[in-house]
Amino acid sequence: MSNRYRVETEWKASYQDPIVLNEGEELWLSGKADKWDGHIWVWAKNQVNKEGWIPDTLVRTVAGKHYANMSFSALELTCSLGEELIANDEKHGWVLCQSKDGLEGWVPARNLKAI
């Protein structure tokens, strides 16, 4: 996936030190869940005690323990109105974008317009 988007509504990253998961890593769920544009996100903690929201589809449960079924970083990208971004992935109402200066992070899909 490599589409171009224009920022229609600016976005400021919510977390300075977001949760990062490696595929197969055990994680702990708090029980908190949130619905974002029709998608379920759950609050999780990783092996180094970093916490944050992750898509519910990233969680695999085996014998009562939870694991990440793929690597994931919740790093968000701060972006300005009118900025052009390149999209590398899309997940749960968010688009993984790269800015012209090479920074990468997630931006809400509702803040972007395909160009």
Same domain for 27 and 45, yes or no, is yes
How do residues 49-94 score in pLDDT, each as one tens digit? 999 999 999 999 999 999 999 999 999 999 999 999 999 999 999 9
| Total domains in the fold of the chain | 2
Three-state DSSP at 111 gives helix
Same domain for 24 and 69, yes or no, is yes
Same domain for 81 and 52, yes or no, is no
Give how far Cα 67 sits from Cα of 35, 37, 61, 93, 100, Å. Answer: 21, 25, 6, 22, 34
Three-state DSSP at 58 gives helix
What is the token pair recorded at 33? 């869940």
CATH number at residue 92: 2.30.30.40
Same domain for 48 and 88, yes or no, is no
Same domain for 8 and 43, yes or no, is no
Q: Which pTM value belongs to this model?
A: 0.90
Three-state DSSP at 25 gives coil
Identify the domain containing residue 67 by its residue range.
Answer: 20-73
